[in-house]
Amino acid sequence: MSVLHLVIIAPLLLAIIVPFLSKKIHGLHTGWFVLLLPIVLFIYFLQLIPVMRNQESIQETMNWIPSLGINFTAYVDGLGLLFALLITGIGALVVLYSIFYLSKEKENLSTFYVYLLMFMGAMLGVVLSDNLIVLYVFWELTSFSSFLLIGYWFERERSRYGAQKSMLITVFGGLAMLGGFLLLHVMTGSFSVREIISMASEISSDPLFIVALVLVLLGAFTKSAQFPFHIWLPDAMEAPTPVSAYLHSATMVKAGIYLVARMSPVFAEQGIWLWLVGGIGILTLLWGSINAVKQTDLKAILAFSTVSQLGLIMSLLGVGAAALHFTELDTNIYMAATAAAVFHLVNHATFKGSLFMVAGIVDHETGTRDIRKLGGLMQIMPITFTIALIGSFSMAGLPPFNGFLSKEMFLESMVDILSLNIFQLETWGVLFPVLAWIASVFTFIYSMIFLFKTFRGKYKPEKLPVQPHEAPIGMLISPIILAALVIVFGLFPNILSESIIEPAASSIMPELIAAGQTFDIHISFWHGFTPALWMTIGIITVGILLYVTLPKWKKVYEKLPKKITLNNMYDAGLMRLESSSNKATSFYMTGSIRQYMIYIFIGLISILSFSLISKNAFAIDTSNVAPVGVYELVLAFIVVAASFTILMARTRLTSIIALGAVGYTVALFFILFRAPDLALTQLVIETISVALFLLCFYHLPKLSRKEERIKFKLTNAIIAGGVGVIVTLVTLSAHSTKLFESISQYYIENTAEKAGGGNMVNVILVDFRGLDTMFEIAVLGIAALGIYGMIRLRLSRRKK
Amino acid sequence: MGSNDMILQTATKVVSFIILLFSLHIFFAGHYNPGGGFVGGLLTSGAIVLLLLAYDIKTVANSLPINYRYMIAIGLLFAVGTGVGAFIFDVPFLTHAFDYFELPLLGKTSLHTAVLFDIGVYLVVVGATMTIIQTIGESE
């Protein structure tokens, strides 16, 4: 176990301790303890920057399941480091912000920070693991912890709805992605990302390759809220604002972008990757920006804006992939697209993070996020206004903020792809710059709406639930830091370009860099009268024009059909699924345990007899059978007699005792066959279950003998006989056929030597097959909690 | 239940103690002789069930104030923790280790990490059975 592993696991470890900490210490906000961790981790990752600048990478392996090629390989390169810095850096700011946002008295803080830390650890795991299966495990943990965070205020119906929606969509994508990973394993025989990358050119002709590509992209698109999977993100805004700032703008939603960037070297040689990533990205950019304009909730505006900005980064990665697809061309301009993607990733995290925090402050201090009620807050909240101004102008792509620089690079890349042959005017490629331009106009408009509808205009105190005032200083620190970064990165972009962007971009496109060479990026503020600058000027002019005339054309949105939206389709689909599965369930879930038994036994008979007949597996070989002694015969007789007693019993008490007799006799069989462990277990189980039956005994209705008709009994007899016959046949056939050597010899030889034990059964349980036992006791625990829950629920209902 | 189970209650006081001790013995003997966490746990719950039969649920809950649901969680933590602990020594998940030590009173004894895992099994078994039995009993 290395330091790197410890760093990844540290948030998870802290998550275990936090509940105890917050129970012990009452005076202090739990967030202060939590805050230390991301700061320490951030500093740790900062000192890795010089290493990455030398185009090096760090790799540490820890064995997990080596026999299956699943090892926890932590791997840091430029791309991983960039994300790790975002996760810990923004994480620290968000924790600081949350200390002032979430009240110590009203909220259940320990659960909040447990979920948040779980998320932080999971996210670090995603971006720093080289093994695809480990990556997948962490990936699903991010979905899971995000589900818990969105549903943090679980008493609200919208929170539960949003949490469920995000879970359904992202986990669906995650499963598809797992399928893609397994296909990659089938093709390459490895789960290691870097090994797969080294085999990329060999597998690209494989028929499974395209399937794997699409499946992996499904994972990335659902996570990064790309069209049409973006519908979960606006609903995820039901989470507390620090969560929205962290998960839904800076980190989790970027996991999909990370995946696309990480897998680019594997898939990008295929044209379909370029078209899918670039096309879906630009479509999402446009769709998100158009939808953001019609929102009236501050956080909803930001949510759609995030959707659209993620599309922007995605489309840049798609265009950047052209560098790998068309090897004969000048790759520099496509490398620029990749660099722009990385740059915008950082910028987006800074300005969107600060804007989310501003939305949270406005919500916190005025009690509403509805822009129809807000207005004129500029005088009351001057600091918040300044932060919002910086963030919004950066989002709109105005100088001198960092958003301007990356937006220029984006537009430039979109124009540059026209120089490719396939992107001629007569082909669809021309759509890229056109859509990018339209989307940027809308981006400009919603940025202005966010800023001016909140802070300018008429002040309407009568509509606000709370008398507004400036936020406490603690709440302002984090957004101020982010806004300062927006300006610093805007004025001195080359702080980033050498330290972060170059290593990150070169780990996205490792093949394009010759050994010893570095990837040179210089971002200049003034880049001449390029097409991109003219486009920006156009965006600002048209944007201002459209913003001023906003009330006139905003009605267009109302003319759009409301019924045929993606959200409605999702809801209707979910309803259909629920009602049809309800129908199917109520068809067989009758509540009668006898019927369930009938299903189970009929299933048993049909499956076993089908496989016996289809495989022609009947074999009865008596040569190997031990002689049947007097003891066995006596015991067999007792079992049979006791079973018949159960059938014939007139009272339940008799049947319970007879059932116990069957169990104890079976235990005697075990003793006879020298299986003391089994006998011991069977005896105790039998004792406890008889006691349990006696406990339940009071509640059962009196046994009536008239309740069943003779025909019903006949089918029961047939089923019972069938089970007996089929089990006997299977046992005999299994005994008579030996396809493999018995495994027992292995255990006989190794129990003492490898596990230092004397009792083979116990050693198998706790050591050789310990994983089975672990899951068995997990099932046992879940079953017990299930029974507890069911009975408690019934009791509380009865009380009502 | 009625208050006139003098014989049962008096006998239970002795017998349940013996069963408890025996279950501990069985638990520790498990690695070399029949027994182990599963049977040991079941026997312990058997002892508690006997107490439940002789006295009523409230008396037992007062004298054994255990939250069995926490017990399940702690047991699972033990089992998973033993597995994860292997990572610290850079070996695959759930790799066990054992060695022989010279201990006071006991002499040469072998100590296994497997016993930690077995404690997990033991706790989950006791916790699960007792959760089930107690909830069914309380619903009366």
- The number of C-beta contacts closer than 8 angstroms across A and B is 167
Q: Are A62 and B114 inside 8 Å of each other by CB? A: no
> What tokens does A498 get?
């050498």
**Other CB atoms closer than 10 Å to residue A271's CB: what's the count?**
13
B96 and A794: CB-CB below 8 Å? no
Q: What are phi and psi of A13, to 5 degrees?
A: -65, -45
Contact A757 B32 (CB under 8 A): yes
Q: Could you count the other beta carbons within 10 Å of the beta carbon of residue A25?
A: 12
Q: Is the CB of B69 less than 8 angstroms away from the CB of A765?
A: no
Mean of the pLDDT values across residues B11-29? Answer: 91
Q: Do residues A406 and A344 lie in contact, with contact meaning Cβ atoms separated by under 8 Å?
A: yes
Residue A260 dihedral angles phi and psi, to the nearest 5°: -60, -45
Say if the Cβ atoms of B128 and A781 lie within 8 Å.
yes
Contact A238, A153 (CB under 8 A): yes
Nearest residue, CB atoms, A758 vs list B33, B69, B98: B33
Among A682, A762, A785, A793, most B C-beta atoms within 10 A, so best to mutate, is A762
Chain B residues within 8 A of A679 when measuring between CB atoms: 34
Nearest chain A Cα distance for residue B47, angstroms: 9
**Which chain A residues are within 8 Å of B71, Cβ to Cβ?**
none
User: How far apart, in Å, are the Cα atoms of A557 and each of A442, A564, A567?
Assistant: 14, 13, 16
> What parts of chain A have a pLDDT lower than 50?
425
Across B121-128, average pLDDT: 93
* pLDDT score for A400: 81
Residue A627 is classified by DSSP as P
Confidence check: pLDDT of B1 > 50: no
**Crossing angle for the helix pair A78-101 and A30-46, nearest 10 degrees?**
160
Residues of A in contact with B72 (CB under 8 A): 780-781, 784-785
Is the minimum CB–CB distance between A70 and chain B shorter than 8 Å?
Answer: no
Interface check A43 vs B, CB under 8 A: no
Please give, rounded to a whole number of angstroms, the shortest distance from the CA of A133 to a CA of chain B.
15
DSSP label at residue A421: S
A769: chain B residues, CB-CB within 8 Å: none
Q: List all residues of chain B from 5 to 44 with a beta carbon under 8 Å from chain A.
A: 26, 30-39, 42-43
**ipTM higher than 0.85?**
yes
Confidence at residue B132, expressed as pLDDT on a 0 to 100 scale: 87
| B contact residues 58-77, partner A, Cβ 8 Å cutoff | 68-69, 72-73, 75-76
The structure's pTM equals 0.82
Q: How many other C-beta atoms can be found within 10 angstroms of the C-beta atom of residue A747?
A: 16
Tell if the CB–CB gap between A756 and B91 is shorter than 8 Å: no
Looking at chain A, which residue has its C-alpha nearest residue B96?
A767
pLDDT of B21 strictly over 90: yes
The token duo for A417 is: 């792809």
Q: 3-state class of B29 per DSSP?
A: helix
Residues in A touching B114 (Cβ below 8 Å): 755, 757, 763, 766-767, 770
A3 CB near a chain B CB, below 8 Å? no
| Interval B33-51 mean pLDDT | 88
CA dist., res. A42 & res. A115, Å (int) = 19
pLDDT at site A425: 47
Among candidates B35, B117, B132 on the partner chain, residue whose Cβ is nearest the Cβ of A784: B132
Residue range B101-107: mean pLDDT, rounded: 76
CA distance A322 to A332: 11
Whether omega for the bond prior to residue A472 falls within 30 degrees of 0, making it cis, is: no
Instruction: Give B-chain residues touching A762 at CB under 8 angstroms.
Output: 30-31, 35-36, 118
User: How far apart are the C-alpha atoms of A693 and A402, rounded to whole Å?
Assistant: 72
CB A213 within 8 A of CB A272: yes
Q: What was the pLDDT predicted at A136?
A: 93
DSSP classification of residue A499: I
- For A456, other C-beta atoms within 10 Å of its C-beta total 14
Q: What is the pLDDT of residue A419?
A: 66
Give me the pLDDT at residue A698, please: 63
Instruction: Tell me how far apart the alpha carbons of residues A323 and A321 are, in angstroms, rounded to a whole number.
Output: 5
pLDDT for A704 equals 57
A591 touches chain B (CB under 8 A): no
Residues of A (654-683) whose Cβ lies below 8 Å from B: 676-677, 679-681
With CA atoms as reference, report the closest residue to A78 among A268, A327, A343, A273: A343
Lowest-pLDDT range, A670-684, B85-99, B114-128?
Answer: B85-99
**What distance in Å separates residue A140's CA from the closest CA in chain B?**
19
Q: Which of A685, A763, A781 sits opposite B31 (nearest CB)?
A: A763
A594 in contact with B at a CB cutoff of 8 Å? no
Chain A, nearest residue to B100 by Cα? A756
Q: How far is the C-alpha of B90 from the C-alpha of A712, rounded, in Å? A: 61
Which of B1, B25, B39, B84 is the best mutation test for A, with the most CBs of A within 10 A? B39
**Smallest CA–CA distance from B114 into chain A, residue:** A766
Test B96 with A767 for CB contact under 8 angstroms: yes
Angle, vertex CA A749, rays to CA A745 and CA A755, nearest 5: 125
Task: Compute the distance between CA of residue B95 and CA of residue A767 in angstroms, rounded to an integer.
Answer: 8
Minimal CA separation from B97 to chain A, in Å: 8
Model pLDDT for residues A66-123, shown as the tens digit of each residue? 788 888 888 888 888 889 999 999 999 999 988 888 877 777 788 888 999 999 999 9
- How far away is chain B from the Cα of A71, in angstroms, using its nearest Cα? 9
The one-letter amino acid code at A744 reads S
